[in-house]
Chains A and B, each alone.
Chain A
């Protein structure tokens, strides 16, 4: 028997055939993207310590209130049935079943972003928005902002299976998923598949979405068309590049299109520095985006004699006098 929200819920031990339990989480469970192996190992060694709670819904369907993972593990182990605790008919209202699952999980584990989205979506079926914001967001370690709630509801509603898996695994971050949601569904799919194909870090993912979005808008070409074009296909077909290299090259390609003048300035700067033929111990760094007037020269040396040698070398490089901003005529 469990006591919840001021009333008792009677539970009856019951053996339930796994055929009667859906492999999907159903209306109350909020588990996604988990590893079964550790749980199977535990079940094989010490058996089922805590029996799942199930309830009978309309038409005789059995819904899982708690223990979705345990049931999935039993199924993976080839079992035919599992010992459950069955709520007696009509004894448990759906919002109560949902809260039992929510708090049961909350006390034992961290939710991944997809699970947070599942939890909020299910809570939104039964509780007003204000209550979700005030009471449940903080329990999920989320800021109490309506926009954050909307984003998570959108994760559950609008992300397809492959994107949800990537989000649950951490292959894409919440901010990447949020940025993906700003794209139309077809483009979202194309970009997400790129993230699964190549190796982008989280920062690169955000940059790429931003670059693709902007380039697409400015050129009037869809993201899908841009990703089918030759330069992009050439990168993917370069056998000498590994996946992170391909990702970096791809970013550079779209960055050069988005920022043609900055890109040109960076190239001119590199060429001009190369022409200076600096000693290997010295290098010139441009200010970020050439915004400040101040360039830096870095000299590596072991001792004063080394340093003097490098300085003497630099003093003889006449071209240094003509060194200018890359957009200005000069050496």
Chain B
């Protein structure tokens, strides 16, 4: 199988066989055993695997579009999450999903197509508003795309709307299906980036940095607009040189004029994630930093450390190109002002800034 992430069983919840997406996934996964409820193979996966090899097909009846779970006292980007799946086949040691959901398995919602009407009707009813929508918050947007075909379902209808963009966030190179589609408008493909050291040691199963940037370059040459997310930034021995190596790679592969935005966020997590990380990734160094309890109850680096990271990255990114749409993820007004030299003031302000980037790139 070409997906790159070994799926060894499929759990099928009651009533999902009627969906077209179920049939398509079943065709793509011929040979992988499927289990229904009450069959012995249905039992929950044991930790520490978290069911990363189990595809779980189910209906989703909750809100399919929800605002990014921003936290109090911090400026949020106003992004909307299109909830297509929960959990991720990649195994980054720092991933917050390890403690965010209490259910295992790669849970894919097969009634997606039937729920899309709700979203597009909302978008169409609000022509003056720009909807920045992404699928990469609760899963990797493209890791399972070869199996699921999310891009086939989502890209054409988004591409037809002037007041919405779809951002596909990934750490993979799975762009084959996407690139085969004719649509380019209103679609942003973005990659999470880190230092080569963090990438190789902590982002298990993800494509290498070079592969990600080569793929991003290919997407640019195919006419796509791209974005990047330095999140989570993690200080580690020699971090300045290490992050500069990533910027060198960006310089080598990427046309900065076709980058819609680059976000930066430093590693932050709910306190309970620490125990999970220790158990699942005993050799990780991501917990070694000076974490304090932030205003939102999350553990964050001591403020001057965060500011040092952002200032350094900003200085070098802006030296590369001065219009990259740099923004901070979940930071306070004062950190914005003291590191980027300006602040949107609040979530509305940042939303306007990012909406402005959308207009600039897509008209």
**Residue ranges of A at the interface with B (Cβ–Cβ < 8 Å):** 182, 214, 217-218, 258-262, 265, 288-293, 325, 327
Residue of B nearest to A292 (CB): B295
Contacts of A265 on B, CB cut-off 8 Å?
A: 302, 304
Is B8 in contact with chain A by the CB < 8 A criterion?
A: no
Residue of A nearest to B306 (CB): A291
A289, B293: Cβ atoms under 8 Å? Answer: yes
Q: Select which of B278, B290, B303 is within 8 A of A182 by beta carbon.
A: B278
Is B294 in contact with chain A by the CB < 8 A criterion?
A: yes
B278, A293: Cβ atoms under 8 Å? Answer: no
Is B25 in contact with chain A by the CB < 8 A criterion?
A: no
> Could you list 26 examples of A-B contacts with CB < 8 Å?
A214-B287, A214-B288, A259-B292, A259-B302, A260-B290, A261-B290, A261-B302, A261-B304, A261-B305, A262-B290, A262-B292, A262-B302, A265-B304, A289-B292, A289-B293, A289-B303, A290-B302, A291-B292, A291-B293, A291-B294, A291-B300, A291-B303, A292-B295, A293-B332, A293-B334, A327-B304
Q: Select which of B287, B290, B332, B334 is within 8 A of A259 by beta carbon.
A: B290
Residue-wise interface mask of B (302-330) relative to A, using a CB-CB cutoff of 8 A (1 in contact, 0 not) = 11110000000000000000000000000
Residue of A nearest to B283 (CB): A217
Contacts of A182 on B, CB cut-off 8 Å?
A: 278
Contacts of A261 on B, CB cut-off 8 Å?
A: 290, 302, 304-305
Contacts of A262 on B, CB cut-off 8 Å?
A: 290, 292, 302
Residue-wise interface mask of B (258-280) relative to A, using a CB-CB cutoff of 8 A (1 in contact, 0 not) = 00000000000000000000100
A217, B294: Cβ atoms under 8 Å? Answer: no
For the complex, what is the distance from the CA of A218 to the CA of B290, rounded to whole Å? 11
Residue of B nearest to A210 (CB): B274
Contacts of A214 on B, CB cut-off 8 Å?
A: 287-288
List the 6 closest A-B pairs by CB distance, nearest first: A289-B292, A327-B304, A293-B334, A259-B290, A218-B288, A262-B302
Q: A289-B293, A291-B295, A292-B295 are in contact. Are A217 and B288 (CB under 8 A)?
A: yes
Residue of B nearest to A259 (CB): B290
For the complex, what is the distance from the CA of A261 to the CA of B294, rounded to whole Å? 16
For the complex, what is the distance from the CA of A136 to the CA of B292, rounded to whole Å? 39
Return B272 CB to nearest CB of chain A, in Å: 12
Contacts of B295 on A, CB cut-off 8 Å?
A: 291-292
Residue of B nearest to A178 (CB): B275
Contacts of B287 on A, CB cut-off 8 Å?
A: 214
Contacts of B292 on A, CB cut-off 8 Å?
A: 259, 262, 288-289, 291
Q: Select which of B278, B288, B302 is within 8 A of A289 by beta carbon.
A: B302
For the complex, what is the distance from the CA of A265 to the CA of B304, rounded to whole Å? 10
